[in-house]
Structure formats: C-alpha cells, structure tokens
Amino acid sequence: MPLLAVHFDTSVINFLLKKEKADAEFYTFPYVYSKGTLSNQLSEADFYKKLIERFLTERKVKFSSCDIVVSGFVNPPTLNFEPKLSVGVNDLIHNSEDLLPIFVDNFSIFTKDAVNFGSPFSSDLKLSSENDKSFGEFDYYANLSIYPQIISDDISTQSQIDENISEEVSLTLKVKSGKKVIFTGGRFAQYISNRELNYILMLSLLNECGVYNVFLDRQNAFALYQTAKMYDKDLAINLEESIENSGTIIRTGGSVECLLKGEVGEGRFFEIEKDKILVIPLDSNSHTMLSIKNSILGSLEISVKGGEVGLVFDTRDSNSSIYSNMKMFNESVKQFGDALVGK
C-alpha cells in the first residue's frame, strides 16, 4: 500500500510519497491555508483534504488506498479525516537518533533544548529604523503574519528577519560540539533569492564553540522521513540523499592557527584572526585532515568533511553578531556566494 507523509509548516506544505517498488518522491507546495483569503470558500480541513486528494490523483493513487501520516510545525492542523499517525515537531525531534534538528520558521525556532515562539508584533521585534517602519517595513511584517508564504527578494529585509530569529535564541540555544546538525523548517523550505543568507543564519544559530557537521533541509525531508519511519520502521528511504551536506563549521571564539592537509602534497598553514568568517570550498568526497590550535578548543587534529560550501571558520566571540557588523556581513555574503558558484 502506498504511504504518504505530509508536513504542514507555517509557510509551505511538504509531501513524501512512497509507492511500492518505487523511489520516494518529495514535493513542496508553496502555500498554506489563509483564513483571510479562503475562509469564504472552504474550511482549513477541507482545503487540506482537497490538496492531498489532488496530489494523489495526479500520481494515480487513490486516497482511500493510501496510508497517510501527518506532522506539523508546531502541531499538525485539525483534519476532517483520520490519518494513520499525527505528530508534532517535539515528537520528531525526540525520535531523532543520528541528527540534531533545528526547526526554524520566520518567527520561531524549535530544538531539543530551546523553544521560542515569536511574533511580527512582539515588543522586542527589531526593525531597522523608524523611517523604514513608517514607509513599509511594518507593513511587510504585518502582511507576512497573514500571508506567511510571501517571500522578499530584498536581501536587507530577509537578513532583518533572520537577525530577529538569531537574537531570540542567542542565550538559550546550546549545541554540543561534534554533533551532526540539520537546519530544517519553513524558513529553509521556502524559496529564497539569496542562498547565502541560509548559511549566515546557520552560523548565527551555532553560538557554542566547537566542530559541527551541518546539513541543510530545503524540503522538510527530515520531518517527512521521521514521520514515515515512526509509522513504518522498515521503510527504506535514505534521508541523506534528500538533504544537503553543507560541510563543516568550526566555531573557535577567537583567533586560530590551522594546518590543512589533503591526500597528496604538502599541507597549507594559515592563521585566522578574531572576528572573521572564512569559507574554504571543499568537496564532500575529499579526504582532508585539519590540525588547529586555539585558546578555547585547544589543539585538535580532525578529519574534515566538505560539502556544498565546504569548510567554514567562525572566529567571533559570543557577543559578536554578523548582522550588526556590515563589513563582516558583506564579506560573508561574498564568500558563501563564491563557494556556491555553479552549484
């Protein structure tokens, strides 16, 4: 029997369909139910059932002959049919063994140890200036709260949203060194015109010194996979084939000396001063050893995994923000952009 997993995020809806003897298909629907525009036509429950029925019909699968499991951020909506399994983000996080998930949408963040639910109208929402607030920025946040699927192509607007997210959790989010971390949720599942901002937000959320192997989830594949596996433990799906291996992030909290050695040839020695971001493109298939010496991490020799952006050094201390340092921000955008060229 076919299995369909549906994840209801705050701005997108994601699907995972697994037919018998067929590869898994992931699909992102870039809208969610909006009471302001659709309530005079149909209810939220009716909208989501019709959407699921349409998705299955286009793939020649009958609604009645499909096992349907659902998840949601933070919990799935009320539906007018009974799914085989219905779980929230908290269930997904605590059933994850190999990956440490960080769920993020435009105003909220949810991890194993930190939860923050924001609002575009919270008293501590940071707008760039009173003039911007008067001439449209407040209106943008207001519209975003009603129509969460809207996307800004303005890099300053999106970076402002990301800064608000990172500042909300700067003191409560703790990620231990050595973890495989996956950044997921509606913030990353939406289309974004400036991909570099994804990695700057990831850096801003990893505020503990350490070494991290990081993954980026652009289709809520983690939530779909976890939901499906909670229902069918024998389900054969390789999650890492559906997410991006971004590379390795090393947060040092200060200056660092490094020796990078590849498979052949001599090593490359370099020093990075405090309050710098350095991106070194490194292929995911490369075999690279890194020796580092730092006042906080000490002396380490580790095998480094590359990825979409490669090896990233972050030498900021805990009080330094990428967003408030315009020079650092612009240099970071350029470095991540260069690493992503052609990808």
Q: Which residues partner with 17 through β-bridges?
A: 4, 25
Q: Are 26 and 219 in contact (CB under 8 A)?
A: yes
Instruction: Compute the average pLDDT of residues 146-171.
Output: 83
Please, which residues have CB within 8 angstroms of residue 196's CB and are 6 or more apart in sequence?
332, 333, 336, 337, 340
Higher pLDDT, 31 or 36: 31
124 confidence band (pLDDT: 50, 70, 90):
very low
Looking at residue 77, the DSSP 8-state letter turns out to be P
> Cα separation of 71 and 86, whole Å?
6
- Crossing angle between the packed helical segments 326-340 and 196-205, to the nearest 10 degrees: 120
N-to-C CA span, the chain: 37
> Cα separation of 133 and 114, whole Å?
30
Beta 3-8 vs 244-251: how paired, if at all? unpaired
Does residue 169 register a pLDDT over 80?
no
Does residue 46 register a pLDDT over 80?
yes
Structure confidence at residue 253 (pLDDT): 95
> Cα separation of 73 and 105, whole Å?
9
Please, which residues have CB within 8 angstroms of residue 223's CB and are 6 or more apart in sequence?
7, 14, 71, 73, 89, 92, 103, 184
Instruction: Compute the average pLDDT of residues 105-134.
Output: 64
Each residue of 276-332: pLDDT tens digit? 999 999 988 888 999 999 999 999 999 998 999 999 999 999 888 999 999 999 999
In whole numbers, what is the pLDDT of the chain averaged over residues?
89
Q: For residue 302, what are its two tokens?
A: 């580790």
Q: Which domains does the chain have, with CATH numbers?
A: 3-88 (3.30.420.40), 93-340 (no CATH)
The position carrying tokens 């909506």 is 77
Each residue of 233-292: pLDDT tens digit? 998 888 989 999 999 999 999 999 999 998 666 789 999 999 999 999 998 888 899 999
Q: How far is CA 290 from CA 95, 248, 251, in A?
A: 33, 11, 14
Structure confidence at residue 173 (pLDDT): 76
Each residue of 180-227: pLDDT tens digit? 999 999 999 998 889 999 999 999 999 889 999 999 999 999 999 999
